[in-house]
Amino acid sequence: MKNTIAAVTLAAAITMIGATAKAETTKIDFDQMNFNIADIVNSAKIANTEKLPVPTATEEKSFNDEATRAKASGWTIMVFINGKNNLEPFALSDMNEMEKIGSSNGMNIVVELGRMANYSQGDGAWKGIRRYLVQKDNDTNKITSPIVEQYANADMGDYKHLIDFAKWAKAKYPAKNYMLIVWNHGAGWIKSIGAGPNRGISYDDATNNHITTPQLGQALSAMGGVTVYGSDACLMQMASVDYEIKDYTTYIVGSEETEPGDGYTYDLFLGKINAQSEPAVVAKAAVDAYSDHYQSIGEGSTQSYVKSSEMNNLVPVVNSFVDAVMAANEKAAVKSARSKTLGFAYADNKDLVHFANLVAAGSTNQAVKDASKKLADFVTGTLVKANRTNTSQYANAKGMAIYLPSGSYNSSYNELQWAKATKWPAFIKWMIAK
């Protein structure tokens, strides 16, 4: 895992970015803040991982007998909680939310939790990586679930370690269906221009490493895929992200916008599902539990789930839209639509349906109107299976964001499978050209 950050230095940095208050902390990339984490983090990557003995005082309950579990389990929910950054206090609270429900004969809840113990003193301020089988308890302040494995060091920004966790969880807690949730900061597909680090998901402050969008696809492929994938992280419900992982999961859950620091409300989510739950039910439960919580406290949010296989069918619909718009050469109307389209924390992230609708409204060309409607109808009627938004601010968020810059084109976009499969890069370049 870890080269720890001096607590006083880190505390000052957190104060500077206003990230310590729950209401102000979001699971978002540090690049959008006037703050360079690399200046205060030792960026040397940890080369080896030391496995530690499991405390003998904690034992797994009888329902974890291998044969019984393999026969009984309908779901194994795998949650990869990278708390090795300023979100660490929320990692502990989310674990306690999971313990309100706990594993059962039909559902295993398995967590890898990493922390640096620099952000809070909760749960004994231990350091390192622990893997838990989550069990029900009534203590909302202390993690009591058994530690199944623990490590002194592990880079949770390394996609290979994510693979290791998922393979371990599948082998130890076999089930008919698997859900993987990656918990941490997120930034969609973004890869910084210039010398900055790549951006994606799961930032580890001890190593200054993280998982890029292509690596997320590689990880899901190497672990043998999952039934449902969820990003408990900001800005991940994008066409470019979903296309990268579409072949390795049936459903994808995520948010177009930033997530508050506490992200998912796990007791509400896990309380909605059981061993017999169909995959679509589990995906929708994640969307509804998240949205119900933030709606109840009056906080704006976005959350949706998509059917992964339909990402293949999105490609020709998008390409037809691009062909129609470029043939009509209504660049002024397109630029006007872009400027009015709902954007998110990164201004270049726009809602795809809102953009298509605005293009149709501003065009005088029937082919453009038809292609725009077909695109909007496909996303809302076929691709996105459930979409929830809270507050009028997000009324035009329809469940799928896309890269739509107003300035220069980030050439790193070309590395994505979405960019290789579609005409979207050509469309962007045409749109921004003078």
Q: Do both 86 and 165 map to the same domain?
A: yes
Kindly calculate the radius of gyration of the chain based on its CA atoms and give it in whole angstroms.
Answer: 22
pLDDT over 70, % of the chain = 81
Q: Do both 236 and 297 map to the same domain?
A: yes
Q: Do both 71 and 89 map to the same domain?
A: yes
- CA–CA dist 301, 307 (Å, integer): 21
* Per-residue confidence (pLDDT) for residue 60, from 0 to 100: 43
* Per-residue confidence (pLDDT) for residue 190, from 0 to 100: 78
Residue 70, amino acid = A
139 lies in some domain: yes
Quickly count: other Cβ atoms within 10 Å of residue 396's Cβ. Answer: 17
Name residues of the chain where pLDDT drops below 70: 1-72, 191-199
* Per-residue confidence (pLDDT) for residue 13, from 0 to 100: 34
Judge whether 342 and 399 are in contact, CB under 8 Å.
no
* Per-residue confidence (pLDDT) for residue 105, from 0 to 100: 83
* Per-residue confidence (pLDDT) for residue 12, from 0 to 100: 32
408 lies in some domain: yes
Three-state SS at 210? strand
4 lies in some domain: no
Q: Which domain holds residue 121?
A: 10-307
Q: Do both 262 and 314 map to the same domain?
A: no
Q: Do both 343 and 194 map to the same domain?
A: no
101 lies in some domain: yes
* Per-residue confidence (pLDDT) for residue 262, from 0 to 100: 83
* Per-residue confidence (pLDDT) for residue 380, from 0 to 100: 98
User: What is the tally of structural domains in the chain?
Assistant: 2
- CA–CA dist 406, 340 (Å, integer): 11
* Per-residue confidence (pLDDT) for residue 70, from 0 to 100: 52
Q: How many residues in total does the chain contain?
A: 434
* Per-residue confidence (pLDDT) for residue 33, from 0 to 100: 39
Q: Do both 194 and 337 map to the same domain?
A: no
88 lies in some domain: yes
Q: Do both 294 and 323 map to the same domain?
A: no
- Residue for token pair 């859950």: 253
Q: Do both 79 and 212 map to the same domain?
A: yes
Q: Do both 294 and 369 map to the same domain?
A: no
Judge whether 319 and 268 are in contact, CB under 8 Å.
no
Quickly count: other Cβ atoms within 10 Å of residue 54's Cβ. Answer: 15
Which residues fall within 8 angstroms of residue 361, CB to CB, at 6 or more apart? Answer: 337
Q: Do both 251 and 357 map to the same domain?
A: no
User: How far is residue 345 from each of residues 43, 45, 113, 177, 285, measured CA to CA in Å?
Assistant: 26, 29, 27, 33, 25
3 lies in some domain: no
Question: Of 255, 284, 307, which residue constitutes the final position of a domain?
Answer: 307
185 lies in some domain: yes
Interior angle at CA 293, CA 287 and CA 298, nearest 5: 120
Question: Of 278, 307, 336, which residue constitutes the final position of a domain?
Answer: 307
Q: Do both 302 and 321 map to the same domain?
A: no
Question: Of 251, 277, 307, which residue constitutes the final position of a domain?
Answer: 307
- CA–CA dist 15, 86 (Å, integer): 11
Q: Do both 294 and 317 map to the same domain?
A: no
Q: Using one digit for the tens of pLDDT, what is the confidence trace for 239-250?
A: 999 999 999 999
140 lies in some domain: yes
